[in-house]
């Protein structure tokens, strides 16, 4: 608009001049017009360049966020007096909160009849950690009920939390089931509410829920489902002594924690120069006079710390935080204590993205790793020279596989994990090595067995070939058997076992006789008699969480025996899933023809695993692509502007 006004003003003045002064004025006008054009062009070019350069630098710097939002829920119901008589939740929580990285967001709630925030949600700093250490000492076991749903609602993430860009995690510790009342029906409704609307909110926010069952008395089925549906981890602590180890594993799977190797026999570790800070965790084992020897061979204990050192003690562990530690060989001096771990923060940042924390047998997962400096800027090709990446997979301390490769410049270095054919909790040990510099990161991968489908019907074996995700077992037993899914070494709770046994009741001959009398044609085809037990259809999917009561029903509440029905499967090359679907239709049609008054046989088809969308760090490939779009767009804009100015100049002449 300014340019058009300048041209109009020039033409108006030109028309008012006489012929004698027109030539001089025209030359001056053209000169000023050219200056305006080029200055405008330079100004727009500078603005576009600054925008593109700023956007590009932010794209690289934002690819390595390690900012977390972690919320911890601790069960304080009365049953904890038996499962945690020494209240080892207190030192475990104290160590966990001391290891949270500064700048992350965290909060702690205790719950029983109702939830209560004992450490308010806020940014983690030394003051917050001190408050958490003091608040942990107030944990007791006085509650009557275990309202897990109310606890999750109190600690729920909001859309503002989701928009903050932090990775959202929740750690839940409990030893019981959903217990909000003495009324079993009300407990069922509370459990349904927990697994549907409440947990769905966490799924929608992209949060991962990590569940810990203290003893096998906990509702493992519900806790496992909560973790599986949000791609979190589920573990069972056989006793309270294992709590800290499980807490640390949960922390390792939420925060990118760099560790240095510890020489177990000598109880020593190497510290390199230019470290910003390090945190040492020591298991005291009864020694309350632990001492450390630093890189300068200075010996110090809890009461000889310097201004840059902070020593926190609990009943079982000591946590020592040191700013700018001295380089050299450090050692623990104690007859019984042991170094648990040494976390470090330095100039090297590691971005680690794990594709899945839960997979099935036969499926594959992968890791994406990148390196950056202390400002979050990805290392260049020259800076990556000499760095090696190693990944080791272990199960119960046994080596499974290992692989190593060099880092790729300007993109993620992807490591494909091997195909695993055995269910269990696997340890992933990731190492970044350059000469004497070694950084380690620990992660876990839960491998679940394939979804099992048990069919107690006579089927053509040709039509029952198992697919990749479904195992079909064909049998015609005298009594219906229940195939129980077992993940790792975990066992179902007594209430769950009672429910499973209740589901395996064999249909009564009376019902078969009734069905035979009503449908003689079907009976003739089936060639069945009332004295022989009829085959039934049974489908069991492990990850499905039903809303039925977990408590064994009373005799008067038992359902009527189910009426057996003849099932047929057409001899066609169908997959196992299609066979089951067709089998369901056959059962429904024959039951409706029979006109039986008993409830129809319930057949549940295996459901696909729910897809959980978890918001992670920004993809550097996407940001790089956007950056180039900005640069190309700026170039096109400059070219169009140049052509416009040239046309305007030609038109004015």
Tell me the per-residue pLDDT of 63-73, one tens digit each, with 9 for 90 and over: 444 589 999 99
Handedness of CA 86, 90, 91, 96 (dihedral sign): positive
**Sorting pLDDT into bands at 50, 70 and 90, what band is 530?**
very low
Q: Read off the pLDDT of residues 143-176 as tens digits, 9 standing for 90 and up.
A: 889 999 999 999 999 999 999 989 999 999 999 8
Residue 384 CB coordination number (10 Å): 18
The pairing of beta strand 328-333 with beta strand 268-271 = antiparallel
Position 284 pLDDT exceeds 60? yes
Q: How far is CA 484 from CA 221, 487, 543, 629, in A?
A: 12, 10, 12, 54
Percent pLDDT > 70 in the chain is 61
Position 374 pLDDT exceeds 90? no
The pairing of beta strand 366-372 with beta strand 358-360 = unpaired
Which residues, at least 6 apart from 398, have a Cβ–Cβ distance to it below 8 Å?
Answer: none
Q: Read off the pLDDT of residues 8-55 as tens digits, 9 standing for 90 and up.
A: 655 555 555 555 555 565 666 666 666 666 666 666 666 666 555 544
Instruction: Name the least confident of 267-271, 387-391, 475-479.
Output: 475-479
At residue 222, the pLDDT reads 93
At residue 287, the pLDDT reads 93
Q: Read off the pLDDT of residues 173-229 as tens digits, 9 standing for 90 and up.
A: 999 889 999 999 999 999 999 998 999 999 999 999 999 999 888 999 999 999 999
Closest among 29, 27, 25 to 37, alpha carbons compared: 29
Rounded distance between C-alpha atoms, residue 39 and residue 8, angstroms: 19
At residue 639, the pLDDT reads 77
At residue 305, the pLDDT reads 82
């Amino acid at each position: 608009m300014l340019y058009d006004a300048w041209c109009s003003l020039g033409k108006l003045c030109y028309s008012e001049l006489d012929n004698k002064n027109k030539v001089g004025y025209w030359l001056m006008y053209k000169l000023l017009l050219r200056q305006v054009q080029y200055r405008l062009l330079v100004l727009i070019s500078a603005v576009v360049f600054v925008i593109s350069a700023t956007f590009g630098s932010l794209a690289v710097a934002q690819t390595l966020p390690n900012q977390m939002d972690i919320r911890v829920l601790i069960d304080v119901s009365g049953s904890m007096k038996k499962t945690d008589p020494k209240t080892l939740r207190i030192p475990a929580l104290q160590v966990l909160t001391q290891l949270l990285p500064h700048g992350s967001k965290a909060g702690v709630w205790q719950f029983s009849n109702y939830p209560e925030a004992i450490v308010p949600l806020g940014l983690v700093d030394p003051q917050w950690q001190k408050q958490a250490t003091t608040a942990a000492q107030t944990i007791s076991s006085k509650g009557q009920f275990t309202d897990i749903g109310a606890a999750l609602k109190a600690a729920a993430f909001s859309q503002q939390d989701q928009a903050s860009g932090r990775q959202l995690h929740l750690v839940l510790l409990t030893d019981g089931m959903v217990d909000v009342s003495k009324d079993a029906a009300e407990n069922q409704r509370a459990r349904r509410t927990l697994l549907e609307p409440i947990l769905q909110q966490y799924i929608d926010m992209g949060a991962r829920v990590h569940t810990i069952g203290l003893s096998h008395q906990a509702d493992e089925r519900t806790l496992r489902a909560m973790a599986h549906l949000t791609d979190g981890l589920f573990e069972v602590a056989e006793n309270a002594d294992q709590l800290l180890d499980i807490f640390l594993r949960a922390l390792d799977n939420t925060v990118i924690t760099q560790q240095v190797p510890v020489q177990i026999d000598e109880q020593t570790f190497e510290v390199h120069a230019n470290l910003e800070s390090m945190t040492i965790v020591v298991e005291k084992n009864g020694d309350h006079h632990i001492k450390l020897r630093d890189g300068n061979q200075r010996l110090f204990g809890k009461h000889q710390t310097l201004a840059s050192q902070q020593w926190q003690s609990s009943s079982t562990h000591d946590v020592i935080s040191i700013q700018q530690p001295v380089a050299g060989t450090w050692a623990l001096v104690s007859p019984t204590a042991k170094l648990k771990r040494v976390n470090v923060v330095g100039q090297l940042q590691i971005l680690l993205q794990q594709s899945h924390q839960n997979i099935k047998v036969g499926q594959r997962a992968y890791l994406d790793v990148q390196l950056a400096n202390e400002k979050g800027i990805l290392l260049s090709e020259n800076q990556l020279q000499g760095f090696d990446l190693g990944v080791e997979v272990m199960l119960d301390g046994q080596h499974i596989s290992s692989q190593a490769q060099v880092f790729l410049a300007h993109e993620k270095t992807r490591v494909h994990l091997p195909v695993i054919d055995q269910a269990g909790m696997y340890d992933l040990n990731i190492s970044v090595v350059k000469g004497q510099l070694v950084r380690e990161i620990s992660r876990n991968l839960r491998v679940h067995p394939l979804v099992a489908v048990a069919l107690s019907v006579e089927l053509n074996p040709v039509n029952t070939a198992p697919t990749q995700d479904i195992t079909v077992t064909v049998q015609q037993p005298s009594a219906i058997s229940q195939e129980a899914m077992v993940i790792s070494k975990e066992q179902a709770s007594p209430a769950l076992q009672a429910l499973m046994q209740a589901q395996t009741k064999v249909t009564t001959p009376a019902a078969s006789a009734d069905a035979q009398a009503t449908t003689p044609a079907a009976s003739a085809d089936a060639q069945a008699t009332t004295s022989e037990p009829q085959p039934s259809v049974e489908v069991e999917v492990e990850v499905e969480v039903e809303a039925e009561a977990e408590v064994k029903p009373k005799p008067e509440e038992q359902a009527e025996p189910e009426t057996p029905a003849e099932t047929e499967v057409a001899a066609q090359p169908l997959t196992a899933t299609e066979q089951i679907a067709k089998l369901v239709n056959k059962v429904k049609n024959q039951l409706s023809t029979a006109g039986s008054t008993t409830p129809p046989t319930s057949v549940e088809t295996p459901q696909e695993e729910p897809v959980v969308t978890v918001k992670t760090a920004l993809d550097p490939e996407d940001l790089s692509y956007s950056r180039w779009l900005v640069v190309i767009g700026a170039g096109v804009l400059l070219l169009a502007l140049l052509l416009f100015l040239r046309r305007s100049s030609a038109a004015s002449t």
